[in-house]
């Protein structure tokens, strides 16, 4: 059986985030992306977007949490 990586498009959040198309596991729940000493949180939406990698679900930025020093 071939494993398929499910990906999503990130919308919003910091402008300098390097990746806007990221793998998601499992799909359909909130996504936490490590970035600059914290996490950017993205929530799933009903939207989809055409990308060079095909039509992908859109996750929208919702909040940021800092990691304790």
DSSP codes, 7-53? EEEEESS-TT-S-SEEE-SSTTS-EEEEETTEEEEEEEEEEEEEETT
* Residue 1 pLDDT: 53
CA–CA separation, 26 and 20 (whole Å)? 18
Q: pLDDT tens string for the chain (69 positions)? A: 555 678 999 999 999 998 899 998 776 788 999 999 999 999 999 999 999 999 999 999 999 999 876
Question: What pLDDT does 12 receive?
Answer: 97
pLDDT at 46: 94
Sorted by where each begins, the domain ranges of the chain are 7-66
């Amino acid at each position: 059986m071939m494993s398929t990586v499910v990906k999503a498009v990130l919308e919003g959040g910091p402008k300098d985030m390097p990746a806007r198309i990221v793998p998601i596991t499992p799909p359909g729940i909130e996504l936490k992306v490590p970035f600059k000493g914290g996490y950017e949180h993205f929530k799933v939406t009903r939207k989809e977007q055409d990308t060079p990698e095909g039509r992908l679900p859109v996750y929208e930025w919702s909040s940021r949490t800092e990691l304790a020093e």
